[in-house]
Chains A and B, each alone.
Chain A
């Protein structure tokens, strides 16, 4: 005890002034963000205003192109097609994810303990499965000849699905990707909303019921207000995540067949990777960031409303 006290006092005397400590503690984080986040973002902006192809990558110097890359992209018909598809992709996925996720959360609330644990374990399993592992599984489930999905569909009487090749048709490939992303994303929404619901005292629902409120009324007057802040947060996070989704699409279809599953992040990557047009890719990435900022503003408004409540 004595020794530690002595060491303690000594440590304090020799140490840095107390006002400096917080800054020392955050210094590595700030340095990390500066070099690994801010600098690459700035560099991206710079590249998007330059002529930057394979030659520039090797030589290391590049000329300025002004707004050339942006006007090239914005005049490209494919870009607008991709932008529209990205919007559609985000809307379809997020709607399905939120509706199903909320439904499952409300269901979990009503289930008995044993059933609830069972469903939670299932959700956690789906949630925890690594993205790339599940993409291979979905390719297996939807494989044309031996895939179990085709087998079930044929059994149900849809004979046209005999040996149906899901990844050769645009809409079908898009559907498989939607199913994959929804399957992976519902658990987060369901579990988060469910744990938000468990923070509500059961008496609140009980007293509403005693006051004669029906199921719908309880949902509107008790459940919904309780869920609203966390719901907004989850919604904006899902918009951001689905919009940014890259690994699944790239691993399953690489944006194909004939561009039917190319969304903005895939497009930016394709332009850079296969055409070696790093400048156009950078411009597309900047445009993607600009769109995302809208979603971010939504997110931060929710976030700080939450922070204020905590």
Chain B
């Protein structure tokens, strides 16, 4: 009688240990980033790493924030990101509605095109994009970046919005239309509120993709260094901070924070949305 629980406990032990290892390995780099950002420089340069600090400082954050151009890069990233997300949402909502709710000739072809665009090797577009932007005098402009990010985020915005839309029964809209609403009003009053979580999750994916994008920002903004975005600035941190790891980790933390918070808050919805659209940022 008493042997069984012990065996059960023992059988569960490797599993629990494995779970802790996975948890530790996934969290440690993030923990180490945030911790270093708060550590006094003497702790950062200690021969034996300090895993649990005794004192914390905000000095590295003030170094990062007052570093040359931080706020303008932050603003650039925010402008480009919100611009592309809003544009993609509006355009994708129309396309997703047409695909999920209407029957028309060429629908299958359109869906196929969206899927192709979703996995399109857009790194192969770096050089032609540069050449086209150069030819049309669009180089070194945030508008160009916004348009490129719109192109990158649009396909998966359509795919995920479509799967959220299909989950809302069309009968609800039809009922509203029977009650005298136009199709547009039925959509606005009935479907749109139900779609809100989907819109939220979808714009989160778009936000993350654009917020993180590096290759195009690195290629298309060259002369006008003030128009760079945060990822490009952060990737050249050694030019900015040298080997000041405290400031570098503070800047990285500030960069990652909005996404980390959004992700943790929306965790469950994100996971279902991801499987629905099978997309990654």
Binding site for B on A (CB under 8 A): 1, 4-5, 7-9, 11-12, 19, 21-26, 28-30, 32-33, 36-37, 39-41, 43-44, 47, 52, 57, 60, 104, 107, 110-111, 115-116, 118-138, 140-141, 143, 146, 148, 151, 183, 186-188, 191-192, 195-196, 230, 233-234, 237, 240-241, 244, 246-247, 250-251, 265, 268-269, 272-273, 278, 281-282, 285-286, 288-289, 292, 296, 299-300, 303
Contact = CB atoms under 8 A, between A and B. Distances in A.
B195 interface: no
Given A115-B19, A136-B234, A268 B94 contact: no
Given A36-B150, A241-B280, A296-B119, A25 B94 contact: yes
B260 A195 contact: no
Contacts of B112: 300
B33 A281 contact: no
A16 B16 CA distance: 62
B274 A191 contact: yes
B102 A22 contact: yes
A47 B154 contact: no
A70 to B, nearest CB: 15
Interface size class of B (residues with CB under 8 A): 35 or more
17 contacts: A28-B94, A32-B91, A37-B120, A40-B128, A124-B267, A126-B27, A130-B256, A146-B245, A183-B29, A196-B275, A234-B278, A237-B119, A246-B215, A250-B218, A269-B123, A282-B128, A285-B123
Contacts of B235: 132, 135-136, 247, 250-251
Nearest to B243: A143
A192 B271 CA distance: 7
A288 B124 contact: yes
A29 B235 CA distance: 32
B98 A21 contact: yes
A133 B124 contact: no
Contact of A132 (B181, B185, B219, B234): B234
Interface in B128-186: 128-132, 134-135, 147-148, 150-151, 154, 158, 180-185
A144 to B, nearest CB: 10
B62 interface: no
Contact of B214 (A7, A183, A247): A247
B234 A123 contact: no
Interface string B219-261: 1000000000011001101000001010011011101100110
A116 B22 CA distance: 11
A30 B48 CA distance: 58
B95 interface: yes
B202 interface: no
